[in-house]
């Protein structure tokens, strides 16, 4: 018994070490994504609170399309990890090639859809005309960035599925440097250029994403083993593998759509309250999104661990990898809550000088600390479920939690109950606890069945 317990403890430590080594660079890369958004928010916000409102509302529908596309490409990472677990590395080049074609079509369709439907949508949802006009101009520019980002996501997911997340992290932070330079040039109008405000922020994002896509694809093309992995070889048609890669993406895409669409809807509800509420909620959501990048990186590590174990048909390893990943996510959620709670006002003051916006944002940030832990656990658990082949239950859970419960509750608390931005955050808290509880229960049930 002692020997068995020691062996089990050793396996847990091995999984923990692997998870952290995989997730560390991914977290750095994901934080780079949010650092780009943070720079946008800070530079635009310090230029003008009004322009920050335009930027936030333009980003809301863009983020829905963006994260839907990212979800649709999740199959690249999962299928790569599974093939490696099956010792079939020669097939992962085909996964990349399918993903790049898929991402190109998704990106182009997203751009056209956003440019055509985005401005009418913003004008139809009851915003003040000036607010809708300003957001629409920035939204159109954001749309041009989507094809570039889809290609970059595919390349990064393919490398992460091989447990090689480092290049994506370095490329993302290099893109941040490009973004910051363009922001400082375009937003306030440096060197005699016109001050573009929110539109300048959108152009900076587009330029940075184009750089990121080119950097990632060049890196893959120059890999010494690229030919061995089948990167340059047209693969034989495998309809079953194609369907499975798409199926994983459909489930993840639906989950991302439900969750992000509902959070974008929170921006709209804040817009119904007023311009300052939009700015305050943008600050709270930006901080929460930065925090979320760490569990999102952990989810990538969990996906690789669980996907490899699932590909090797080892249910004990699947169960252990999932539990280790959830435990690390829960510990992070607790620690970050304890760090942000007493510093909420200082954080808000870093975004804007406006006292009313600072007070509103600080109150919202304190409430956000309540949902950091369950939010971290739910995203890691959802990705672990997808990696083990359970694609649609996470999607259904997010539909119930975020669309059917959170969205109407946020409107009721914020407007009829007059709780403002705090009411929106309270709705998010309830939905996140429901989502986390349902997903953990599902993982536990499947593990008991398989074991």
* Domain spans in the chain, listed from the N-terminal domain onward: 7-450
For residue 23, give the nearest of 328, 294, 318, 297 by alpha carbon.
Answer: 297
**How does 66-82 read in b/e, with b if 16+ C-beta sit within 10 Å?**
bbbbbbbbbbbbbbbbb
Please tell me the distance from the alpha carbon of residue 410 to that of residue 424, in angstroms, as a whole number.
Answer: 5
DSSP structure class, residue 89:
G
pLDDT for the residue 412: 96
**How does 312-338 read in b/e, with b if 16+ C-beta sit within 10 Å?**
eeeeebbbbbbbbbbebbbebbeebbe
Over the chain (451 residues), what is each successive 10-residue block's mean pLDDT? 62 82 79 79 80 80 74 82 79 86 87 88 79 87 90 90 85 93 87 82 92 95 86 80 82 78 82 83 85 86 85 85 93 96 92 85 93 95 89 88 93 92 94 95 90 71
pLDDT for the residue 3: 61
Residues 6+ apart with CB under 8 A from 165: 22, 24, 25, 26, 29, 156, 159, 300
Residue 243: its H or E element: helix 239-273
Between the CA atoms of 170, 175, 178 and 184, what dihedral angle is there, to the nearest 10 degrees?
Answer: -110
226: left (phi over 0), alpha (psi -120 to 50) or beta: alpha
pLDDT for the residue 229: 83
CA–CA–CA angle 308, 312, 313 (5° rounding): 115
Q: Which two tokens stand for residue 165?
A: 């997340």
Q: Which two tokens stand for residue 179?
A: 């973004």
Q: Which two tokens stand for residue 285?
A: 């959501």
């Amino acid at each position: 018994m002692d020997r068995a317990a020691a062996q089990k403890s050793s396996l847990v430590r091995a999984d923990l070490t692997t998870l952290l080594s995989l997730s560390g660079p991914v977290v750095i890369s994901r934080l780079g994504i949010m650092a780009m958004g943070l720079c946008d928010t800070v530079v635009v916000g310090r230029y003008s609170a009004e322009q920050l409102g335009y930027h936030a509302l333009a980003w809301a529908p863009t983020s829905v399309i963006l994260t839907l596309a990212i979800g649709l490409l999740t199959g690249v990472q999962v299928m790569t990890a599974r093939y490696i677990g099956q010792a079939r590395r020669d097939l992962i080049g085909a996964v990349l090639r399918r993903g790049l074609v898929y991402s190109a079509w998704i990106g182009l369709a997203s751009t056209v859809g956003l440019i055509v439907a985005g401005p009418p949508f913003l004008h139809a949802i009851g915003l003040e005309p000036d607010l809708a006009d300003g957001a629409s101009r920035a939204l159109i520019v954001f749309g041009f960035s989507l094809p570039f980002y889809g290609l970059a996501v595919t390349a990064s997911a393919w490398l992460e599925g091989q447990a090689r997340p480092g290049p994506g992290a370095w490329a993302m932070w290099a893109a941040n440097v490009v973004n910051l330079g363009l922001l400082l040039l375009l937003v306030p109008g440096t060197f005699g250029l016109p001050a573009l405000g929110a539109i300048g922020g959108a152009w900076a994002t587009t330029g940075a994403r184009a750089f990121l896509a080119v950097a990632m694809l060049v890196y893959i093309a120059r890999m010494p083993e690229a030919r061995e992995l089948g990167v340059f070889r047209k693969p034989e048609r495998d309809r079953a593998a194609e369907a499975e890669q798409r199926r994983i993406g459909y489930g993840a895409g639906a989950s991302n759509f439900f969750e992000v669409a509902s959070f974008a809807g929170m921006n709209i509800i804040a817009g119904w309250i007023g311009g300052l509420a939009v700015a305050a909620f943008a600050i709270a959501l930006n901080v929460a999104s930065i925090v979320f990048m760490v569990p999102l990186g952990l989810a990538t590590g969990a996906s690789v661990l669980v996907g490899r174990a699932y590909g090797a048909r080892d249910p004990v390893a699947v169960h252990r990898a999932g539990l280790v990943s959830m435990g690390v996510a829960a510990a992070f959620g607790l620690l970050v809550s304890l760090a942000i709670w007493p510093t909420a006002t200082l954080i808000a003051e870093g975004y804007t000088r406006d006292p009313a916006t600072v007070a509103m944002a600080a109150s919202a940030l304190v409430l956000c600390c309540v949902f950091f832990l369950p939010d971290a656990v739910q995203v890691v658990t959802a990705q672990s479920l997808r990696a083990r082949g359970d694609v649609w239950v996470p999607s259904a859970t997010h539909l119930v939690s975020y669309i059917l419960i959170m969205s109407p509750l946020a409107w009721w608390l914020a407007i009829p109950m007059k709780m403002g931005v705090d009411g929106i955050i309270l709705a998010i808290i309830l939905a996140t606890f429901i989502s986390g509880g349902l997903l953990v229960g599902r993982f536990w049930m499947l593990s008991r069945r398989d074991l």
